[in-house]
């Protein structure tokens, strides 16, 4: 496979959750590969910071301040793309609570963002690509939590498991249009979102680093490279798959 397989020059990518963390890393890396990038997030300041990073390196970025649970807003943003080649549905939130303490509002919020937000992004991207006969790539964001149970992971794990099923199902349905659909399921990654958990985060990070044969936790760029691989021509015969950049950790609770 020639190195030019990773060249996205002339293509357009749309990244949700682009204001920070994995989403920002994906937006920046896709731009470095040559794509014009549409960055979407609720965080207006973070969005403009991501766009500035891209533009400072000579790339092209456009920002869309939106909530992925707002299907109408998401549709308008996707429709603003003259042509869409790559959708990276990264936006998500973290939540942890024991099963016996999980409230309905917790489940509803996590499900709304982590599953429905991904579903809407996939639907709008697929609709756009099919209408324009674009043989594109859709990449969803799952999690290592889909492979095993863990304390406090009910809401988060269920939503991410649903993303895996969405990915596999959609791949079978729109594959005949030449559109590939794959998921990335990262292990523990150091991001602003995980950093907000303070001492609990530090304990978990140390534990996960010890469990990895590589002796460290992930960085957003580690996941972004997996997304670029699936988004590019380097994976032309890959669809319905789950790529796991997790440092070799099998999540042994």
CA dihedral 121, 189, 110, 145 (to 10 degrees): 100
Are the C-beta atoms of residues 118 and 141 closer than 8 Å to each other?
yes
Name the residue ranges covered by the structural domains of the chain.
Answer: 9-243
Residue 126 CB neighbour total at 10 angstroms: 20
Question: What pTM, to 2 d.p., does this model score?
Answer: 0.94
Structure tokens, 13:
């990518």
Residues 6+ apart with CB under 8 A from 241: 182, 183
- Taking only the tens place, the pLDDT of each residue in 63-77 is 999 999 999 999 999
Q: What is 9-243's CATH topology?
A: Rossmann fold (3.40.50)
pLDDT of amino acid 151: 86
Q: Check 8, 156, 218, 227 and give the catalytic one.
A: 156
- Taking only the tens place, the pLDDT of each residue in 162-218 is 999 999 999 999 999 999 999 999 988 988 877 665 445 677 788 888 889 999 989
Catalytic-residue membership of 156: yes
- Taking only the tens place, the pLDDT of each residue in 71-121 is 999 999 999 999 999 999 999 998 889 999 999 999 999 999 999 999 999
pLDDT of amino acid 253: 46
Distances in Å between the alpha carbon of 97 and those of 91, 106, 152, 157, 170? 20, 9, 4, 11, 30
- Taking only the tens place, the pLDDT of each residue in 10-63 is 999 999 999 999 999 999 999 999 999 999 999 999 999 999 999 999 999 999
């Amino acid at each position: 496979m020639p190195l030019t397989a990773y060249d996205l020059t002339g293509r357009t990518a749309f990244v949700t959750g682009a204001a920070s963390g994995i989403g920002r890393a994906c937006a920046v890396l896709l731009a470095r590969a040559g794509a014009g990038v549409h960055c979407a997030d609720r965080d207006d300041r973070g969005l403009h910071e991501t766009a500035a990073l891209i533009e400072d390196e000579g790339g092209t970025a456009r920002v869309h301040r939106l909530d992925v649970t707002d299907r109408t807003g998401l549709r308008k943003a996707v429709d603003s793309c003259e042509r869409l080649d790559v959708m990276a549905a990264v936006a998500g939130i973290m939540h942890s609570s024991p099963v016996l303490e999980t409230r309905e509002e917790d489940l509803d919020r996590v499900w709304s963002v982590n599953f429905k937000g991904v579903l809407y992004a996939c639907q709008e991207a697929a609709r756009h690509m099919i209408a324009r006969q674009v043989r594109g790539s859709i990449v969803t964001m799952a999690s290592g939590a889909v492979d095993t149970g863990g304390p406090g992971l009910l809401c988060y794990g269920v939503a991410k498991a649903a993303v895996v099923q969405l990915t596999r199902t959609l791949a079978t349905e729109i594959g005949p249009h030449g559109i590939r659909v794959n998921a990335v399921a990262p292990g523990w990654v150091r991001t602003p979102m995980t950093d907000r958990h303070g001492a609990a985060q530090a304990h978990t990070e140390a534990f996960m680093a010890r469990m990895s044969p590589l002796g460290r936790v992930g960085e957003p760029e580690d996941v972004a490279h997996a997304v670029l691989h699936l988004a590019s021509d380097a994976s032309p015969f890959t669809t319905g798959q789950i790529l796991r950049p997790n440092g070799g950790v099998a999540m042994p609770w």
